[in-house]
Structure 1
Amino acid sequence: MSENREPENNPNPWMKSMVVWGGIFLALLLTVSMFGGPSEPAGTQISYSDFRNKIAEGSVESVTISPDRIVGTLKNDGAFTTTPVTSDPGLTQLLEDNGVEFSGAQPEQMSVLWVVLIQALPFILILGIAFFALRQVQKGGGSGAMGFGKSKAKLLTEKQGRVTFQDVAGIDEAREELEEIVEFLRDPQRFSKLGGQIPKGALLVGSPGTGKTLLARAIAGEARVPFFTISGSDFVEMFVGVGASRVRDMFEQAKKNAPCIVFIDEIDAVGRHRGNGIGNSNDEREQTLNQLLVEMDGFEANEGIIIIAATNRPDVLDPALLRPGRFDRQVVVPIPDIDGREKILAVHMKKVPLAPDVNPRTIARGTPGFSGADLANLVNEAALLAARRNKRLVAMQEFEDAKDKVMMGTERRSMVMTEDEKKMTAYHEAGHAIVSVHEEASDPIHKATIIPRGRALGMVMRLPERDNYSYHRDKMHANLAVSMGGRVAEEIIFGHDKVSSGASSDIQYATDLARNMVTRWGMSDKLGPLQYEASQEGYLGMGTTQRTMASDETNKLIDAEIKHLVEGAHKRATDLLKTHEDQLHLLAQAMLEYETLTGDEITELLDTGKIDRPEAPSGPAAVVPVHGSAIPKAGKRFGGDGAPQGA
């Protein structure tokens, strides 16, 4: 991209600013000197009558008379000045009679050059201001004082840091499609000799953080052609017609630099479906979109200009924008799978000194659903943790702690909780965990904790064993039951009147899941496989959810089915926890002792009744009662009375 550098002979903007400010300072000096007037002579100002009296008294030694001023000295070395009276012809006789030495002086006169300069100063200032304004209007990129109609597209150069396809990992299919565009720009004859035409545009579609902008920067780094970048929000202003003017100016700049690439980030800001809402803001946006459509594929051909846009809301884009001839390709940038996550981690770990125990495959297996931005944040958090702990290398422990921080939030160990609150939280989280263990379709438990993290007092984190791209009915029912497990555990252990508000997020999750099952996914036997709710594009682009079948009878049936699913999950969790109440007590006591347990430790505890940790006290075998039975175990044990017992 070396050919995109700015010309060397451009004047330095700093020097231009200095010249402008120097001219303004000089004009101010001239103005001050023009209106400041001549300086007052030294001496005491006296009246003309006093002046005559002093002459008569013989105290005046000498005077100098000019048409507008009389300056003199007294015999006691004092100086004075006065303003003469023109109708006093006897002054010279009075001076001679009293022996005063007197002389005449011409009035002060300015040079001809100074007079001309002062008279021309207003015209010079007016011409300078007009010239400066015209220069500002002629500036490109909308940076001038009158340049609000100019394009704000920036020409990307090597100064911003070159990114290539080697820096892009985990999205191989999307990269291959865009590599073809780069190859076309490098060697168009290779494709045109077979009748192929360069794509007019490519739309990058994907969730936030998947690497759409990074892909665009990689195209700029590989293509070595001019690369303009702009955001969709840069087109829209409060004045109708400004956005369309900026679109025209952007394509004019692109034509001058063809072949080139224009990247529009967040195109949904300007490319939303036309006809929604009213008001000037929509009029401006629709005019901008119309101009963009014409420039991309109108009567005038734009050869050599490729438009690449990115969005995470393709559902709201106008159909005219997505037709062939405009955005010929829609490149999906997905959430990476386990292989992709491993490659992305390898890219980001190049900048981090790693300990020998770090295994990117293990980290990738434990981060399903993470985007490229999430993985980059994970590596950065691990490096910060290692630096905080004064380590020279980033070990696997830092990556595990960073993963917990990203997934569950920062630990709030300073938060003071009473013993009753801790006990209730322990049983609440144990209820989630026990239901999850006994629901076959549930994801395995990754970690359970009663340490407050983020906005939660405790948490049970489950992770799928592999990447999931769809969910089955049995898994949804299992998730409903798991979400009710915490509330049910509180009811069983503490009673109906002692149930806390800690299950609010669980209830919200269960209600939303049940609603989607009934209204969107057709998983209600009474309502059948029909869609009863759909996302609607609302006023000014605000998305809302509306029911497509909204009769009173249908709404009552939908609400009844949602309630039936949630209450069924509550009964399912109640049956499981009452059946395995001994495990509920066992796990809750372990949570109170250790505060945080991994999924393997929970499985070990439920299978053997103990947890073997290096820090656990060792001792001879002991008998731990679990609901009346005696089981000989070794290591840390937990009894059924709610208090941990040591071996």
Structure 2
Amino acid sequence: MNDNNKPQGPENGGGNPWMKSLLIWAGILAALALFVTLFDGRTTQTAADGMSYSTFLDKVQAGEVKSVNIAAGSAGTSVVSGTLSSDAKFRTNAPADPQLIPTLRTKGVTINARPEEGASIWQYILVQSLPFLLFLGVAVFFVRQMQKNSGSGAMGFGKSRARLLTQKEGKVTFDDVAGIDEAREELQEIVEFLKDPTKFARLGGKIPKGALLVGSPGTGKTLLARAIAGEAGVPFFTISGSDFVEMFVGVGASRVRDMFEQAKKSAPCIVFIDEIDAVGRSRGAGLGNQNDEREQTLNQLLVEMDGFEANEGIIIIAATNRPDVLDPALLRPGRFDRQVVVPRPDIEGRVKILSVHMKKVPLAPDVDPRVIARGTPGFSGADLANLVNEAALLAARRGKRLVAMSEFEDAKDKVMMGAERKSMLMTEDEKRMTAYHEAGHAIVAMHEPASDPIHKATIIPRGRALGMVMRLPERDQNSMHRDQMYAHLSIAMGGRVAEELIFGYDRVSSGASSDIQSATRLARSMVTKWGMSEAVGPLEYAEDEQSYLGYGGSRAAPMSNETAKLIDGEIKKLVEGGLNRAKQVLTDHVDQLHSLAQALLEYETLTGEEIKRLIAGEDLGREDPGARAAPVSSAGTSIPKIRKPKGPFGNPAPQGA
């Protein structure tokens, strides 16, 4: 909020910055031209000294000298200058020669005895100081440019760097904010208070001092703040928390004071501090030396928000994704009176957010925002905006005039799993192994009643995965039931079981590493966090010492060696129970496993509806169903036979699996 951010014009002493720069450079060039001119004049004058004294005497004897001017020189010498018969000028230094004057009189030369006209003292000073002045002017010019770009001058080091948000930067209203209705309603009250404070004041209500927006990155905290500015129509100053912190102690506190001084002049107004955790961390936390500058800045902010001097009409809105590290004094009522949680949107919110961003994109008739929203659980508003942008870029690269559903599906796969690895070369055996692996996941998911519906299955490599089976929930799930957990375990083991069932115990690949990892994590959470094991009981156990000490936010009890062994046994029982369940399903429906694997080898990607039709024995409905040619394995058989495993699958499944 320094004066540099005010609009400059003729009425307030400002002007066209291009004209200022032009005048400065013109002055520099003029100084250079003057210096060159003076230096060239001195050089020309010095060039006249080329006549020696003997030559001068010869010309006098020859009668070629018309007039001379004799001036006293240094060390008893004389400076003789004058004009030749040819009107040419000359200049020479003469020693103390008593015969010079009589000789000149004999030859009829006009003699003048006045001092020689030289450069004035001011001209001498100018010539000597011009290089220094030129260097000083260039240095001042560049320093002013640096100060202009940094927003603070030499005397404004402690000035606030908050800038006034103008309508030129794009007005944002609550109509542009979707998917976070609860947060928008809480902030709408602040807007109404700013528009009509008497509505609340007559009932004893006081204007809130501040609102803290808390949420994950990309959920729309900054967008909400800009929407408040657009709705309220009051001055809106924005600054980042890192703009307060400097290496010099006291600078941040000075900037806080200056920010509130400027805000008082524009009250009622809103001051938005983004990433306030950069300056609002808890005092005295952490190890080692403390940052006195940051703590002084925080102390000054606390005093300004709720101290002896009331700052009426100034509302502080701050945003952070780390509320746990903020100082408790900053969060108390009277400073940040309310904390507004900006969550990740649910499915309805994602539909609204997609609709907002899709207004700027020409869409094909087959685009369904709800289907896209179902396939993007956990996406923030920024993620959804990026998804729409990626789909538009894909359509442009493909030369389309409309963005179709296929572009959104490909963009979603790219955002979630990475781009297609088209350059990756896979052997026929690797393709068959991948097809049966993904078919195993899909068949188990189709026969698990608690599983989410399959959206699609593919064997196209993306990122670090050679293939995938994507399942989409019908709605957002805030909790998970026990039967759903058991279904997840069996589905995760479906790929490994299919490899062992079709290719044999010795041909099991490492492709199930991520499946085993996710299944183990789920089973560990079931045992140690959610009380899903009867042997362990409904207790929460820490996974490591740091969790017990509270560094991870957990106060779980430590465990003994016997308890750790019991927990490991229960985790193993759950995972192997899912393995047994997957083995049972795939053994009973091995014909469906073969059919789905062959279809994946042919088409590479199948939708959930196509998988259902394939399992039911119906036609897939592709444009060229007759072009099907079953791939042949390296052994020469089109469909591998079931091979008996050489090792056991594990212990019996637990109750309810």
1:498 equivalent to 2:507? Answer yes
Amino acid at match of 2:307: G
Structure 1 unmatched runs, 5+ = 620-637, 643-647
C-alpha offsets along residues 466-510 of structure 1, whole Å, 9 cap, x if unaligned? 111122233233223322322333333334443333333333333
Q: Secondary structure at the match of 1:84?
A: strand
TM-superposed deviation, 1:193? 0.3
Once the two structures are overlaid, the 10-residue window that deviates more, 167-176 or 281-290, is 281-290
C-alpha offsets along residues 351-397 of structure 1, whole Å, 9 cap, x if unaligned? 22333443434443444333222322233233333333333333334
Q: 2:55 aligns with which of 51, 54, 60?
A: 51
Q: Match of 2:633?
A: none
Summarize the Cα distance change of 1:92–1:446 in structure 2 as closer, same or farther, 3 Å threshold.
same
Q: Match of 1:227?
A: 236
Structure 2 unmatched runs, 5+ = 74-78, 629-636, 642-657
CA distance in 1, matches of 2:512, 2:457: 16
Amino acid at match of 2:239: I
Summarize the Cα distance change of 1:452–1:128 in structure 2 as closer, same or farther, 3 Å threshold.
closer
Q: 2:343 aligns with which of 317, 331, 334?
A: 334
Q: Match of 2:634?
A: none
Q: Match of 2:354?
A: 345
Preserved contact between residue 5 and residue 157 of structure 1 (Cα < 8 Å): no
1:616 equivalent to 2:625? Answer yes
Q: Match of 1:370?
A: 379
1:591 equivalent to 2:615? Answer no
Q: Secondary structure at the match of 1:230?
A: strand
TM-superposed deviation, 1:210? 2.0
Preserved contact between residue 281 and residue 326 of structure 2 (Cα < 8 Å): yes
CA RMSD of the aligned region, Å? Answer: 4.1
Preserved contact between residue 178 and residue 349 of structure 2 (Cα < 8 Å): yes
Preserved contact between residue 316 and residue 537 of structure 1 (Cα < 8 Å): no
Q: Match of 2:453?
A: 444
* Aligned ranges 1:483-562 → 2 under 5 Å: 483-533=492-542, 548-550=556-558, 553=561, 554-555=563-564, 557-562=566-571
CA distance in 2, matches of 1:385, 1:580: 39
Q: Secondary structure at the match of 1:352?
A: coil
* Aligned ranges 1:125-136 → 2 under 5 Å: none
1:188 equivalent to 2:197? Answer yes
CA distance in 1, matches of 2:113, 2:521: 105
C-alpha offsets along residues 323-373 of structure 1, whole Å, 9 cap, x if unaligned? 211111122222223332232222222222333443434443444333222
TM-superposed deviation, 1:199? 1.2
CA distance in 2, matches of 1:474, 1:48: 116
Percent identity for Structure 1 against Structure 2: 68
Q: Match of 1:170?
A: 179
Q: Match of 1:301?
A: 310
Summarize the Cα distance change of 1:315–1:431 in structure 2 as closer, same or farther, 3 Å threshold.
farther
Summarize the Cα distance change of 1:24–1:78 in structure 2 as closer, same or farther, 3 Å threshold.
closer
Q: Match of 1:411?
A: 420
Q: Match of 1:481?
A: 490
Q: Match of 2:655?
A: none
Q: Match of 2:401?
A: 392
CA distance in 1, matches of 2:70, 2:449: 116
TM-superposed deviation, 1:599? 1.2
Q: 1:89 aligns with which of 98, 105, 110?
A: 98
CA distance in 1, matches of 2:457, 2:620: 14
Amino acid at match of 1:152: R
Q: Secondary structure at the match of 1:308?
A: strand
CA distance in 2, matches of 1:247, 1:313: 22
TM-superposed deviation, 1:450? 0.7
Amino acid at match of 2:539: L
TM-superposed deviation, 1:15? 4.0
Q: Match of 1:582?
A: 591
Q: Secondary structure at the match of 2:400?
A: coil
Structure in which a larger fraction of residues adopt strand: 1
CA distance in 1, matches of 2:546, 2:40: 68
C-alpha offsets along residues 425-451 of structure 1, whole Å, 9 cap, x if unaligned? 112212222222223222221111111
Q: Match of 2:209?
A: 200
Summarize the Cα distance change of 1:388–1:479 in structure 2 as closer, same or farther, 3 Å threshold.
same
Summarize the Cα distance change of 1:466–1:133 in structure 2 as closer, same or farther, 3 Å threshold.
closer
Q: Secondary structure at the match of 1:181?
A: helix
Q: Match of 2:650?
A: none
CA distance in 1, matches of 2:545, 2:171: 41
Q: Match of 1:428?
A: 437
* Aligned ranges 1:229-378 → 2 under 5 Å: 229-279=238-288, 282-378=291-387
Q: Secondary structure at the match of 2:348?
A: helix
Q: Match of 1:461?
A: 470
TM-superposed deviation, 1:178? 0.9
Q: Secondary structure at the match of 1:150?
A: coil
Summarize the Cα distance change of 1:316–1:431 in structure 2 as closer, same or farther, 3 Å threshold.
farther
Amino acid at match of 1:424: M
Q: 1:472 aligns with which of 475, 481, 495?
A: 481
1:38 equivalent to 2:42? Answer yes
CA distance in 1, matches of 2:232, 2:545: 39
Preserved contact between residue 586 and residue 639 of structure 1 (Cα < 8 Å): no
Summarize the Cα distance change of 1:138–1:489 in structure 2 as closer, same or farther, 3 Å threshold.
closer
CA distance in 2, matches of 1:344, 1:21: 51
Summarize the Cα distance change of 1:461–1:43 in structure 2 as closer, same or farther, 3 Å threshold.
same
C-alpha offsets along residues 77-131 of structure 1, whole Å, 9 cap, x if unaligned? 7978554134223223334456767666742344587578779989999999999
* Aligned ranges 1:106-145 → 2 under 5 Å: 106-110=115-119, 142-145=151-154
Preserved contact between residue 444 and residue 582 of structure 2 (Cα < 8 Å): yes
Q: Match of 1:179?
A: 188
CA distance in 2, matches of 1:161, 1:193: 35
Summarize the Cα distance change of 1:550–1:19 in structure 2 as closer, same or farther, 3 Å threshold.
farther
TM-superposed deviation, 1:421? 1.6
Summarize the Cα distance change of 1:57–1:125 in structure 2 as closer, same or farther, 3 Å threshold.
closer
Summarize the Cα distance change of 1:6–1:29 in structure 2 as closer, same or farther, 3 Å threshold.
same
TM-superposed deviation, 1:608? 1.6
Summarize the Cα distance change of 1:478–1:233 in structure 2 as closer, same or farther, 3 Å threshold.
farther
Q: Match of 1:645?
A: none
Q: Match of 1:630?
A: none
